[in-house]
């Protein structure tokens, strides 16, 4: 067996090292690119000189796109493709783990297949639909540790592509949650956007997501929200208004396949919306993979043309379809000449199909023949982070792969166990936010049958790593290659992560509860007042609704997924009353409250500012004295901190970050994090 070794390292804006070249990268997601040469021939030199070649802002130069977005792994999703097909509609289903499905109502008559992970996706994809990412577990992303959030986002794409054999480029946030107001100063939103880019997503099908600022991710406009005009775009005037020539929005029918929204058994209310919004000749009815890929190409491709006698010779630099995740062609327009002036269009290695568009000549330019669609996709995981390929199970075309995270580097082991050589291997490392340069690329022209190769990537830690290295790390190498067919193999690994630094609050508190805020003859504030005012805590307390309460912490498996600035209480996004099947969380009261008891150790006396949710912290004391606002006057040494915490109540609070636990961060006078203190749990009585 032949063993090769090559190494790449991040250096400034590009890559250095053997067989690792910096590709021409396009757009905010920095997609790889390639070049096509186009020759448009005319009847005369004058017409060639006058002609201009441009990229249409939307497929076939249509004025807008219309699609459907359906979230969550809902069994009644299976009704939607049937309804869409009747009206020529297409859509995208945003899914979680393919093994986990639920049904909001059995009135549709849909029953659970024997193997839902394999049987449901093909039915959703029928008629030209696509699948998008919605995280593995539908957690509230801003509340998670950075490593766990990346695992939810990137791991979801890997699982969907490997299990369903499709490509995914579009994403939507669980609970439409991407930031928590001013608690984190907007850092949560920026970090999640960077995770999406590193994961290869570039379409974010959220309603007017870029209204306040351009994220570099494409967004959408809701026509209707669960059969209500929540997006404000359902009127005929909103759908047909005049807009700038290059504005080509994506309108969405959204967002859950629930019987209560659309009616049973065959969603007649959804059908009524499609009846109104179908058959319009200037609308593109597409899935969101197609829209994303077209718009990204239209916005970020580079086109230049020069007249040569009776021809226009053009060079097009366009994104690689392996990064786009869809093989939709580009529509090019030949302007300033009559349609009949064009004699022919040629592009070596690619098809060009003329179009009959009003006002002139246009054609669809497809991707090169050698850049065909992926025919097989799989995952080779390494949950134990072992450092030896060994007898790994071969993936598509006989390629075996193993990814290992060592100290400051990633190693990718490749071996061709198939009967024929593999060629055009392209490797894209996708890294969590702890590391600079989160997308690192390399290429390998060929891997002979029986040959092996090792690729090593040197990693450079970011300048502020502590918030970004909490918990297990999830790393990914995306390997695209050609054997008898084009294939993709994801090599993934998980490595143990560090505990958060001591200046994070997560590990510094005990909690007592839940206390019933809606129980007759019981007031949590009255009950907790002696404790909050500095009385020595007892080991336990008797309460008439459930017996004895004792100080405790959550199991690490539940608390370690959270942002280290959150003091865990339930570790779950929903109210405790919702977890009927989980007795460790379930509490038959809607208003659950908690007493938190911790200690802050300071090297000197100083004043700091505590950042928390004012609507959830009912009372805060420091060393037995009530704190008004967030100003804490710390003494040198240990400082006793006690909080009565009441997660948000009322509309919209059933799924809320505050249910996980209490957000608590210390800042100095300039808004920076205080790093020379430590949180620690006091000794239990």
Q: How confident is the model at residue 652 (pLDDT cuts 50, 70, 90)?
A: low
Query: Helix, strand, or coil here: 21?
Result: coil
The rounded distance, in Å, linking the Cα atoms of 217 and 210 is: 8
Q: Is 518 found in the same domain as 479?
A: no
* Digit-coded pLDDT (tens) for 347-356: 999 999 999 8
For residue 451, what are the contacts with CB-CB under 8 A and spacing of at least 6?
A: 1, 2, 3, 4, 415, 416
Distance (Å, rounded) from C-alpha 513 to C-alpha 90? 48
Q: How many domains does the chain have?
A: 4
DSSP conformation class of 612: -
Q: Are residues 224 and 78 in the same domain?
A: yes
Give all strands of the β-sheet with 330-335 in edge-to-edge order: 52-55, 330-335, 360-365, 352-357
As a whole number of angstroms, the distance between CA 480 and CA 482 comes to: 7
Residue 12 has pLDDT above 60, yes or no: no
Q: Which two tokens stand for residue 585?
A: 């969380």
Domain boundary among 468, 495, 522: 495
Q: Which of 29-33, 580-584, 611-615 has the lowest mean pLDDT?
A: 580-584
For residue 538, pLDDT over 50 is answered with yes
* Residue 286 resides in a domain: no
Kindly state whether residues 51 and 88 are assigned to the same domain.
no
State residue 157's pLDDT score: 98
Q: Same domain, yes or no, for 443 and 513?
A: no
Average pLDDT over residues 187-210: 97
Residue keyed to tokens 């020529």:
88
Q: Could you say which of 355, 371, 387 is where a domain stops?
A: 371
Domain termination site, one of 258, 281, 304: 281
Query: Is-cis flag, bond preceding 227, omega within 30?
Result: no
Pairing of strands 376-382, 250-254: unpaired
What is the pLDDT at residue 22?
Answer: 53
**Is 11 among the domain residues?**
no
The answer to whether the beta carbons of residues 120 and 113 sit under 8 Å apart is yes
Residues 578, 558, single domain; the answer is yes
Q: Tokens in use for 460?
A: 């450079």
At 269-310, the pLDDT tens digits run 999 999 999 999 999 999 999 999 999 999 999 999 999 999
User: Which residue range(s) make up the domain with 487?
Assistant: 374-495
pLDDT band at 77 (very low <50, low <70, confident <90, very high): very high
| pLDDT grade for 2, boundaries at 50, 70 and 90 | very low
Q: Is 78 contained in some domain?
A: yes
List C-alpha distances in Å: 71 to 133, 538, 624. Answer: 9, 47, 48
Question: Up-side HSE of residue 504: CA atoms within 13 Å toward CB?
Answer: 20
> Are 487 and 395 in the same domain?
yes
C-alpha–C-alpha distance, residues 221 and 166, integer Å: 25
Mean pLDDT score, 490-502: 94
Task: Please indicate, yes or no, if residue 419 is contained in any of the structural domains.
Answer: yes
Same domain, 232 and 318: no
Asked if residue 605 has pLDDT above 70, the reply is yes
Residue 68 and residue 46 share a domain: no
pLDDT computed for residue 238 by the predictor:
83
Q: What is the pLDDT of residue 590?
A: 81
| CATH code, domain with 410 | 2.60.40.10
Give a yes or no: residue 601 inside a domain: yes
Question: Please, what is the angle between helix 79-87 and helix 268-277, to 10°?
Answer: 30
The whole-angstrom separation of Cα 383 and Cα 571 is 24
Nearest to 195 by CA among 431, 26, 409, 470: 431
CATH number at residue 94: 3.20.20.370
Q: Which region among 37-41, 193-197, 231-235 has the lowest average model confidence (pLDDT)?
A: 231-235
d(CA 155, CA 374): 19
Residue whose token pair is 């450079």: 460
DSSP symbol at 326: -
The number of helix segments (H) and strand segments (E) in the chain equals 12, 40
Question: Does residue 502 form part of some domain?
Answer: no
Contacts of 384 (CB under 8 A, 6+ apart): none
105-143 tens-digit pLDDT: 999 999 999 999 999 999 999 999 999 999 999 999 999
Same-domain pairing of 49 and 72: no
pLDDT at 241: 87
CA distance 599 to 509: 7
Residue 71 domain-assigned (yes or no): yes
CA distance 638 to 683: 12
State how far Cα 97 lies from the chain centre.
Answer: 14
pLDDT (0 to 100) of residue 230 = 60
The pTM of the full predicted model, rounded to 2 decimals, is 0.95
- Is there a domain that residue 273 lies in? yes
Kindly state whether residues 198 and 70 are assigned to the same domain. Answer: yes
- Domain co-membership, 426 together with 469: yes
In terms of domains, do 321 and 422 share one? no
Hey, what are 171's tokens? 């994403």
Mean pLDDT of the chain: 93
State the pLDDT at residue 23: 66
pLDDT tens by residue, 87-106: 999 999 999 999 999 999 99
Segment 431-450 shows an average pLDDT of 95
Q: Is the pLDDT of residue 11 over 50?
A: no
Tokens 């891997």 locate to: 447
């Amino acid at each position: 067996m032949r063993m090769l070794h090559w190494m790449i390292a991040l250096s400034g804006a590009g890559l250095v090292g053997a067989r690792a070249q910096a590709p021409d990268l396009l757009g905010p997601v920095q997609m790889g690119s390639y070049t096509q040469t186009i020759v448009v021939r005319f009847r005369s030199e004058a017409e060639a000189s006058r002609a201009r070649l441009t990229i249409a802002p939307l497929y076939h130069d249509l004025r807008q796109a219309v699609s459907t977005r359906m979230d969550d792994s809902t069994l009644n999703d299976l009704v939607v493709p049937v309804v869409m097909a009747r009206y020529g509609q297409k859509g995208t289903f945003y899914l979680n783990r393919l093994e986990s499905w639920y049904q909001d109502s059995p009135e549709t008559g849909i029953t659970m297949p024997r193997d839902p992970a394999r049987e449901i996706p093909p039915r959703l994809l029928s008629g030209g639909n696509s699948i998008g990412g919605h995280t593995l577990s539908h957690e509230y992303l801003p509340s998670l540790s950075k490593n766990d959030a990346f695992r939810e986002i990137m791991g979801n794409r890997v699982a969907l592509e490997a299990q369903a054999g499709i490509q995914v480029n579009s994403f939507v946030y669980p609970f439409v949650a991407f930031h928590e107001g001013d608690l984190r100063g907007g850092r949560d939103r920026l970090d999640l956007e960077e995770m999406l880019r590193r994961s290869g997503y570039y379409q974010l099908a959220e309603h007017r997501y870029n209204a306040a600022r351009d994220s570099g991710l494409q967004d959408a406009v809701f026509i209707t929200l669960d059969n209500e005009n929540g997006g404000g775009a359902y009127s005929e005037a909103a759908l047909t208004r005049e807009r700038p020539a290059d504005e080509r929005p994506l309108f969405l029918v959204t967002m859950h396949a629930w019987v209560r929204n659309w009616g049973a058994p065959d969603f007649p209310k959804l059908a009524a919306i499609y009846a109104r919004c179908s058959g319009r000749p200037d609308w593109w009815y597409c899935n969101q993979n197609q829209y994303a890929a077209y718009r990204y190409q239209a916005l970020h491709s580079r086109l230049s043309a020069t007249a040569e006698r009776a021809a226009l010779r053009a060079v097009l630099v366009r994104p690689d379809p392996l990064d786009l995740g869809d093989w939709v062609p580009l529509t090019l327009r030949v302007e300033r000449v009559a349609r009949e002036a064009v004699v022919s269009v040629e592009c070596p290695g690619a098809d060009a199909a003329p179009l009959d568009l009003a006002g002139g000549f246009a054609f669809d330019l497809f991707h090169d023949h050698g850049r065909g669609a992926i025919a097989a996709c799989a995952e080779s995981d390494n949950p134990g982070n072992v450092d030896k390929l060994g007898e790994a199970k071969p993936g598509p075309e006989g390629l075996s792969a193993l990814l290992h995270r060592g100290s400051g580097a990633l190693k990718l082991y490749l071996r061709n166990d198939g009967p024929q050589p593999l060629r055009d291997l392209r490797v894209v490392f996708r890294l969590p936010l702890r590391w600079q340069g989160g997308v690192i690329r390399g290429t390998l022209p060929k891997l002979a049958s029986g040959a092996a190769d090792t690729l090593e990537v040197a990693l450079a830690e970011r300048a502020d790593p502590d918030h970004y290295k909490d918990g297990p790390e999830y790393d990914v190498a995306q390997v695209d290659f050609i054997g008898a067919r084009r294939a993709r193999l994801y090599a993934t690994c998980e490595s143990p992560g560090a505990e958060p630094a001591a200046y994070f609050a997560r590990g510094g508190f005990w909690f007592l509860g839940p206390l019933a805020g809606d129980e007759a003859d019981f007031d949590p504030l009255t009950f907790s007042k002696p404790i909050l005012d500095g009385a020595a805590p007892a080991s336990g307390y008797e309460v008439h609704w459930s017996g004895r309460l004792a100080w405790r912490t959550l199991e690490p498996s539940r608390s370690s997924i959270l942002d280290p600035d959150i003091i865990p209480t339930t570790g779950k996004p929903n109210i405790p009353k919702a977890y009927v099947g989980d007795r460790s969380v379930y509490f038959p009261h809607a208003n659950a409250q908690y007493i938190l008891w911790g200690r802050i150790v300071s090297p000197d006396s100083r004043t700091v500012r505590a950042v928390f949710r004012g609507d959830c912290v009912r009372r805060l004391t420091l060393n037995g004295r009530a704190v008004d606002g967030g100003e804490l006057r710390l003494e040198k040494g240990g400082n006793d901190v006690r909080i009565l915490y009441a997660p948000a109540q009322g509309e919209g609070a059933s799924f809320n970050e505050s249910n996980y636990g209490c957000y608590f961060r210390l800042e100095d006078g300039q808004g920076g994090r205080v790093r020379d203190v430590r949180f620690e749990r006091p000794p239990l009585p």
